Amino acid sequence: MIESAPVARYRAALAELDPRISIAAQLRALFPLIEAELASGVPHAAVLDDLAAAGLSVQHSTYTITLYRWRKAQRSAEAKSAAPPLPHAAPTTATKAPPTTAPTLNAIEGRPRNIQTPGDLRKIRDMRIDLEALRREGK
């Protein structure tokens, strides 16, 4: 029986890893290869079959959770690399912009950063919105 190309790549990558590491760590090492397969249209079930043929038996739940966490880590790493660099101290010869006379206004008080608990929803319900300040911020 001839071994498929993905199975051969998975075997080669697994051979380079320490066999004592966890299944999740082995999956993380294989995810760049797996992502290429998924991008070409291979279903997740076929990837799991190929992994099993390569010698890495993985439960579907382990595969799904590890893939989710790996993709989340990749997104946060991309976001950090795409973030603009922090401005350095301005040279002393540069002219400084005149200070603004209007203080920074916050038209919405009590807004949570993200919604994770029922308490965050209550904060949204109890937010105070100063429409006049919101109008001034928009100018």
pLDDT over 80 (residue 96) = no
pLDDT over 60 (residue 135) = yes
Q: pLDDT value at position 105?
A: 46
Q: pLDDT value at position 119?
A: 80
The arithmetic mean of pLDDT across residues 130-136, rounded, is: 79
Closest CA to 110 of 99, 120, 98: 120
Quickly list H helices, 16-117: 23-39, 44-53, 60-82
Grade residue 65 by pLDDT with cuts at 50, 70 and 90.
very high
Q: How many residues does the chain have?
A: 139
The arithmetic mean of pLDDT across residues 21-38, rounded, is: 92
Work out the percent of the chain whose per-residue pLDDT is above 90: 47
Q: pLDDT value at position 85?
A: 61
What is the tens place of the pLDDT at every residue in 69-85? 999 999 988 888 876 66
When comparing pLDDT for 100 and 28, which is higher? 28
Q: Specify the pTM.
A: 0.56
DSSP symbol at 76: H
Domain locations in the chain as residue ranges: 5-82, 108-138
Q: pLDDT value at position 22?
A: 92
Instruction: Indicate the burial class of 28 (C-beta count within 10 angstroms; 0-12, 13-18, 19 or more).
Output: middle
Q: Rounded to an integer, what distance in angstroms lies between the CA atom of residue 137 and that of residue 86?
A: 25
